[in-house]
Amino acid sequence: MRYLLFILLFSSLIGCSYRGAYESIQLSNQRECYKLPQSQQDECINSTQKSYAEYERERLGG
C-alpha cells in the first residue's frame, strides 16, 4: 500500500513540475515575441497561447 501511495505522489509531483516548466517556457517565448517588429508580435504571441492541457493532448497523440 505504501508503495502505491509513493508512486501516486511521485507521479503527481512530476506532472506538476512538467506543467511548471511548460508554462515557464511559454512565458519566456511570449517575452521574446515583444522583441519582434510590431507587425509580427500578434502572430508570435498567438503561437504561444496553447494551454498545457492542449499540449499534453497533442504530445500524447490524442
Residue 6: its H or E element: helix 2-33
Retrieve residue 51's grid coordinates: 494551454
pTM confidence score: 0.64
Tell me the C-alpha distance between 57 and 35, whole Å: 30
Sign of CA dihedral 9, 6, 59, 27: positive
Q: Per residue in 15-50, pLDDT tens?
A: 667 888 888 899 999 999 999 999 999 999 999 999
Find, among 49, 60, 53, the residue nearest to 41 by Cα: 49
